Chains A and B, each alone.
Chain A
Amino acid sequence: MTNSGAAQGSRKFKLPEETSVLVALIVLIGIVGALRPTFLKPTNLLNLAASYAIAALLAGCIVFLLSMGEIDLSFGWILNLSAVLAGISMIAGAPVWVGIVIGVAAGTAMGALNGVLTVFMRLPLIIVTLGTASVFQGVSLISNNSGSVVPTDERITQHVFFRALGGSIDTPVPIILIFVVLCFIGLHLLLHKTRFGYRILAIGSNPEAARLAGIPTKKIKIQVCALMGAVSGVGGVLFLGFRGAVDPSTGGQMLLPVVAAAIIGGTPLSGGAGTIWGSLIGAMIVGVIGVGVVFIGIDAVWGTLVTGLVILFAIGVDQVVRVRKKRAS
């Protein structure tokens, strides 16, 4: 946790652990805003938020896996394949809502497959998903002959789902943002206020102790993987609606920003702890860096480098804080 010193001070007056990342986000926005005041225009900020909403949603969900001490490398391709399957079925004549259900169901199934493989092969999820990522990508390429999926039929493009996400319906705040924030509330409650979440954190803290306490560790692992798949499926469907098309590379570049968002947000890789809200703020930080670099006029090529440095910085601070805490106690 990237706690500031204040957070560990007196117990009664404890700042939430996300405070330091939030401050970092505000500082970053301030820096870019000071250099380019147009950056601070609400519409711009909202558009920026909307374009990073899907990555943020996935970051919120990867926190579940990190809390359990696992990591999924395949979610980008789950997103891709879910979107492709949803798009293809819509083009083939299925009603839009059926396409949506197909996309989400396919994502859930892929996630569950990851979970079943990791449990029965007794391998870490990172290794399993190293393989399944390519499998999902491959199936996606085959199912649409390496081409883009672009629904053009008016029956589809004029459907309320596409119009709402695509921005044809005027709302003060982009619909996708509202939806993602609602998802975040749900994810937060699920991780921190339910037995399911307690079990996830218990497995991440000490898998063997969790097993001995009677926690069904295998079942929970499969469930969390399926949840990651389902959320990736939702992400895929949102992407389809938001952009109106899916191309073969969609999702392939998501791994870094999503995992970075969760780590910057304060979720350790070691398991046993996680913050959903932190990952949302982390995703916004990644977004501000990515867009801000362009805004200031630095070549976009630098965006990736800066993101990398910020991750190193965030992890470094996290580690220093943790070592100090340990020494203090």
Chain B
Amino acid sequence: MSSILAQGVISVRSLSKRYGGVQALDNLNLDLERNIVHAIVGENGAGKSTFMKILSGGVTPDSGSISIDGVSYPEITVQLARKLGIGIMYQELRLFQHRDVLTNLFPDREIRRGPFIARKPMEEIAKPVLESIGLDVDLYATLGDLAISDQQLIELARVIIEKPKLLILDEPTSALNARESDRLLELVRQLPSQGTTVLYVSHRLDEVFAVANQISVMRNGSLVFSRPTNELDRASVIAGIVGEEKSARISSGAKSQSITTNTTTILEVKNLKNYGQIQDVNLTVNSGEIVGVAGLIGSGADELLETLFGAKPKSGGSIFLEGKERSTLSPQNSVRDKVALVPADRKRVGLMMERSVSDNLSHVAVGGHKHGTAIVTRSGLATRAKRLVERFGVKTEHVDIRVGNLSGGNQQKVVIGKWLEINPKLVLLDDPTRGVDIGAKSELFRLIREIADSGKGVLFRSTEIAELTNLCDRIYVIKNGETRREVSEVDEAELIKLINE
């Protein structure tokens, strides 16, 4: 691979980065040619975002070098990235919600006349850029009042205004509808002719094929291959993403062993709609079953579990729990009805990071649950915590340790443990393996299977396709907010194809 081009605008040599037990980048070699759209695809955890963060100056690599226009750098700082003309548009929005659009387009780079901010010249620069993106907004509107899709386009405009030599786009269409996506892709296609090289990262293969001149596939922190788009077809890209030894790294045999004889329907969802992306979701979950939810970011899959739990309001449809309709959904009612949610953003909404393992394990049993005495003692909390720590194999020195000091996998066990304490009927797992290393993952999978085997219903969303195909008994594919298909016994490649259909 290293022999292709020595004069690439950027060549990366044996780049490695390790986070705790996870080798995020493993000897990556890659050349980016000038003035093309270069797509990078791969599963979550393949190392794409680490690579981008290193390029844009957010992260220091452990080893390896990056050479740009022939000059070699051991690392790229944020300042250097700016000087070299590397711009990045992040998947999460990093905008000032309370400021107007214009201010957001020139963060810390305002044009000044003397000590004053000169708004006119800024407007003159901003207007044509917004026009080219097809975004028609008032430059003085408060950013937070705009739709998320508009905000995402403003994030893009902000980067384009800098006229970067290298533009990194990370899932730029995740909040856009089909029409907006098309316009964005059109714009991206034109960028190379204006002297901008684009590094395009996306899960959506149709987009990648529509926009890229070159496609690189990454897996486990290394490059699988990098070829011009016209030499590739979908099947070969998917094969590269999945790899040959695919399921070996995730404990196999996680599938349900026995067809349980007397299964009951735990959850039935009919025509569910919410105020966001979910349009029409229909699904059922039976006892003893792990049901998967697959879908791209923005498809509605990422909002489904929170909506079922009542953390996000629904706008229509009905949800039945063991045949009884749940009319008013709220986290409080979910605790009462014994529905558990392991949220996707563990650090932000799943745990009290500053508090002890012991305090966290009583979060639901003492905090949310109405039963039991109103008296809470240290020793009572500790007793419960010790029991749960032992049952779920949480690796912690003692239960008074801050939960933030545990590894990702053990933190997730604490979240699961605190919910299982109230013996839920239905467990909603929203991307539970995020930030969890591979060893801990297989332990989590065993745990999830045990939960299902004890007669509970499990609804499992994951952004990692391999997890779904390995663990789930059935999988619902969600696209454009609708459940499109129900599949079982699919392999990874097939499922990726279905999601991208």
Binding site for B on A (CB under 8 A): 11, 192-199, 201-202, 205-206, 208-216, 272-273, 329
B369 in contact (CB, < 8 A): yes
Chain A nearest CB, measured from B46 CB (Å)? 30
On whether A209 and B341 interact (CB within 8 A), knowing A194-B375, A214-B367, the answer reads: no
On whether A208 and B348 interact (CB within 8 A), knowing A195-B376, A197-B376, A213-B335, the answer reads: yes
Within 8 A of A (CB), among B246-261: none
Q: Are B351 and A209 in contact (CB under 8 A)?
A: yes
Sampled A-B contacts (10; CB under 8 Å): A192-B376, A195-B366, A195-B374, A197-B376, A202-B367, A208-B348, A209-B350, A213-B368, A214-B367, A215-B368
Q: Are B375 and A205 in contact (CB under 8 A)?
A: no
With contacts defined as CB atoms under 8 Å apart, how many contacts are there between chain A and chain B in the complex?
A: 85
Q: Name which residue of chain A comes closest to B309, CB basis.
A: A212
Render B319-343 as a binary contact track against A, CB cut-off 8 A, 1 for contact.
0000000000001101110000101
Q: Are A202 and B352 in contact (CB under 8 A)?
A: yes
Neighbour of A212 across the interface among B331, B372, B373, B374, CB < 8 A? B331
3 A-B pairs with least C-beta separation? A214-B368, A214-B335, A205-B352
Complex: A193 Cα to B378 Cα, angstroms: 8
> Which residues of chain A are within 8 angstroms of B331 by Cβ–Cβ distance?
211-214
Q: Name which residue of chain A comes closest to B334, CB basis.
A: A214
Neighbour of B418 across the interface among A11, A206, A213, CB < 8 A? A213
Q: Are B352 and A11 in contact (CB under 8 A)?
A: no
Q: Name which residue of chain B comes closest to A207, CB basis.
A: B349
Please classify the interface of chain A as helix (H, G, I), strand (E, B), loop, or mixed, using the class held by over half of its residues.
helix
Binding site for A on B (CB under 8 A): 309, 311, 331-332, 334-336, 341, 343, 348-355, 359, 362-364, 366-369, 372-377, 398, 400, 402, 404-405, 418
Complex: A197 Cα to B335 Cα, angstroms: 19
Complex: A273 Cα to B311 Cα, angstroms: 26
> Which residues of chain A are within 8 angstroms of B343 by Cβ–Cβ distance?
212
Q: Are B355 and A205 in contact (CB under 8 A)?
A: yes
Chain A nearest CB, measured from B332 CB (Å)? 5
Complex: A81 Cα to B96 Cα, angstroms: 42
Q: Which interface residue of B334, B368, B369 has the most chain A CB atoms within 10 A?
A: B368
Q: Name which residue of chain A comes closest to B341, CB basis.
A: A212
Q: Are A193 and B376 in contact (CB under 8 A)?
A: yes
Complex: A215 Cα to B418 Cα, angstroms: 13
Q: Are A202 and B400 in contact (CB under 8 A)?
A: no
Chain A nearest CB, measured from B221 CB (Å)? 28
Q: Are A272 and B352 in contact (CB under 8 A)?
A: yes
> Which residues of chain B are within 8 angstroms of A329 by Cβ–Cβ distance?
402, 404-405
Q: Are B352 and A212 in contact (CB under 8 A)?
A: no
> Which residues of chain B are within 8 angstroms of A208 by Cβ–Cβ distance?
348-349
> Which residues of chain B are within 8 angstroms of A206 by Cβ–Cβ distance?
349, 351-353
Complex: A194 Cα to B373 Cα, angstroms: 9
Chain B nearest CB, measured from A326 CB (Å)? 9
Q: Name which residue of chain A comes closest to B419, CB basis.
A: A213
Additional A-B contact list (7), CB under 8 Å, known A194-B376, A205-B352, A210-B367: A195-B367, A195-B374, A202-B363, A206-B349, A208-B348, A209-B349, A212-B350
Q: Name which residue of chain B comes closest to A211, CB basis.
A: B331
Chain A nearest CB, measured from B377 CB (Å)? 6
Chain B nearest CB, measured from A183 CB (Å)? 19
> Which residues of chain A are within 8 angstroms of B353 by Cβ–Cβ distance?
206
On whether A272 and B354 interact (CB within 8 A), knowing A195-B366, A214-B367, the answer reads: yes
> Which residues of chain A are within 8 angstroms of B364 by Cβ–Cβ distance?
213-214
Q: Name which residue of chain B comes closest to A202, CB basis.
A: B367
Q: Name which residue of chain B comes closest to A322, CB basis.
A: B354
> Which residues of chain A are within 8 angstroms of B336 by Cβ–Cβ distance?
214
Complex: A211 Cα to B364 Cα, angstroms: 10
Complex: A211 Cα to B418 Cα, angstroms: 14
